[in-house]
Structure 1
Amino acid sequence: MGDLYALDFDGVLCDSCGESSLSAVKAAKVRWPGLFDGVDSATEDWIVDQMHIVRPIVETGYENVLLVRLLLEMRMSSIRKSSVAEGLTIDGILESWSKIKPVIMEEWGENRETLVDLFGKVRDEWMDKDLGTWIAANRFYPGVPDALQLASSSIFIVTTKQSRFADALLQKLAGVTIPHEKIYGLGTGPKVEVLKQLQKRPEHQGLKLHFVEDRLATLKNVIKEPELDGWNLYLGDWGYNTKKEREEAASISRIEILQLSDFTKKLK
């Protein structure tokens, strides 16, 4: 008997909020250049600060771009185009993002694929021009690189981040090489489907299965799938989640609240 760990990336292994927020500002300027005419550095700094607060609601990277524009419209009524921005608060975003997102997508005439491609392109260009500053805008959580290097368990990365970015950070920032085929990134399908694939592999039969995630909604999706009852589920309390979500998770018998120090010990 051994252990298999399926690990989310952002919010479990790596704190990428600094990089994703700055990349989202860059992408928003490309997508809507006219909106950013006259926006001063203080306003941009405010947006980046707020992005750290609203980060728990982001499931896929392109949503950061939408949030940057929404925050700008909240701050500057003169450029406001969405019906939801007036009177909206940060708490309102945290509570109602799933309802807000389709409204602004429609009102702004955006589509998911275009924003995914743009966000990836902006990150690629930043990496190509100045890999050092792109890497430096990220950080691995304390103890995680050593735990990955020393792990005796089978490790898979299951993330909505594009695989090439996760791979670059693992190698350049953590000094860890995880085979490409063990990184399931954006485009490989929903996480519940990836978990199903992993548990069906003949070489994984008999292993104890663990899934570590920082988004409660994702863990609840796993619980809805009877086929995935064999997975041990963990919510990382150091990641992108709120106190309210952690309290809810604590009331769900399938989910264990995990602290960072215990997580790194488990991997070793």
Structure 2
Amino acid sequence: MSLQPLLVFDFDGVILDGMDEYWSSSRKACLSLLQGVLLPEQTPSRFRQLRPWVHHGWEMVLIAAFLQESDGPLQRLGVDAFAADYDQQLRAGLDRFGWKPSLLQDSLERVRRQAVSGDRAGWVALHRPFKGVQERLAGLEEEGVAWSVLTTKGRDFTDELLDAFQLRPVRLDGRESGPKPEVLLRLRREWALKGFVEDRRATLEVVLETPGLEGLKCFLADWGYLRPADREGLPEGLDLLSTSKFAAPLAIWP
């Protein structure tokens, strides 16, 4: 085990706000699969509202497809009812369009690769670090704590963005590394884990229930892509991390 403690961070919704890039890439991926449809270039409000339910990138391409339907379930039900039945709506959408998650994920990553190779500066400009995050990450070193990134985003795209914003984690685990609980288990064998900061409550709840991760401090990033009820009734071991608490020394975190 490393002598140095390690604090693990999710990426999208914790370190970086990439909402406009999510829509830009998802829109283009959807248009490549559905010929002759129209989708706005500006990020739709319904896409923003549904982003907190997204777990994997391919889901955003499917949401874009829902948004181009004039009489589809998203239009009929509205955002709240659609979100309440989110997983079932995704399954039904995959069946209706005849798609597989792998097809949507591949399409999304192809669009991103084209954007990075064709206009890297423009692609990077669709992202912005959350206020104060860069400075806080830099300050961890002064507290003797290393930090790493654990994300469901592809490693190459995450690395591009970290480099663009001059962020240097000691380790980067992307989608290719496997489910987050499994990665955390591996990390715990190699490091003295100080905690995991994530903005998806469901992921943190799975981590709390994972054998071998007992006692790992889990923090829900208050500034991330949270669902309306995510802050309520948090289970034991899961603490809401506000921006003010995040900026404070680790010794006084929850």
TM-score by length of 1: 0.86
The answer to whether the 8 A contact 2:24-2:41 is kept is no
The answer to whether the 8 A contact 1:47-1:72 is kept is no
The answer to whether the 8 A contact 1:157-1:184 is kept is yes
Could you list the structure 1 runs, at least 4 aligned residues long, displaced by more than 6 angstroms after superposition: none
- Describe how 1:5-154 pairs up with structure 2 within 5 A: 5-34=7-36, 36=37, 39=38, 44=40, 48-73=44-69, 76-77=70-71, 84-85=73-74, 87-152=76-141, 153-154=145-146
In structure 2, the residue matched to 1:169 is 161
2:212 aligns with one of 227, 234, 237: 227
Q: How many Å apart are 1:108 and its aligned residue?
A: 1.2
Q: How many Å apart are 1:87 and its aligned residue?
A: 1.7
CA deviations over 1:71-118 (Å, ceiling 9, x no partner): 221xx13xx5xxx45622111232221111111112211111111111
Q: How many Å apart are 1:45 and its aligned residue?
A: 5.2
The answer to whether the 8 A contact 1:65-1:119 is kept is yes
Matches of 2:74 and 2:127, distance apart in 1: 30
The answer to whether the 8 A contact 1:22-1:48 is kept is no
Matches of 1:20 and 1:244, distance apart in 2: 23
The answer to whether the 8 A contact 2:215-2:237 is kept is no
Matches of 2:91 and 2:230, distance apart in 1: 22
In structure 2, the residue matched to 1:197 is 186
Structure 2 residue identity aligned to 1:227: G
Q: How many Å apart are 1:55 and its aligned residue?
A: 0.6
2:240 aligns with one of 231, 250, 257: 257
Structure 2 residue identity aligned to 1:44: P
The answer to whether the 8 A contact 2:20-2:43 is kept is no
Cα separation, partners in 2 of 1:129 and 1:62, compared to 1, 3 Å: same
Q: How many Å apart are 1:191 and its aligned residue?
A: 0.3
Structure 2 residue identity aligned to 1:163: R
1:209 aligns with 2:198: no
Aligned to 1:241, the other structure's residue is in SS state: coil
Matches of 2:168 and 2:221, distance apart in 1: 23
Identity %: 30
CA deviations over 1:15-46 (Å, ceiling 9, x no partner): 11111111111111101123x1xx3xxx6157
In structure 2, the residue matched to 1:185 is 174
Matches of 1:224 and 1:176, distance apart in 2: 31
Matches of 1:237 and 1:224, distance apart in 2: 21
Q: Give the structure with the higher percent helix.
A: 1
The answer to whether the 8 A contact 1:209-1:230 is kept is no
Matches of 2:231 and 2:79, distance apart in 1: 19
Aligned to 1:134, the other structure's residue is in SS state: helix
Matches of 1:162 and 1:92, distance apart in 2: 30
Aligned to 1:160, the other structure's residue is in SS state: coil
Mark the runs of 5 or more structure 2 residues left unpaired by the alignment.
none
CA deviations over 1:127-182 (Å, ceiling 9, x no partner): 1111111111111001111222332212111100011111111111x212335xx1
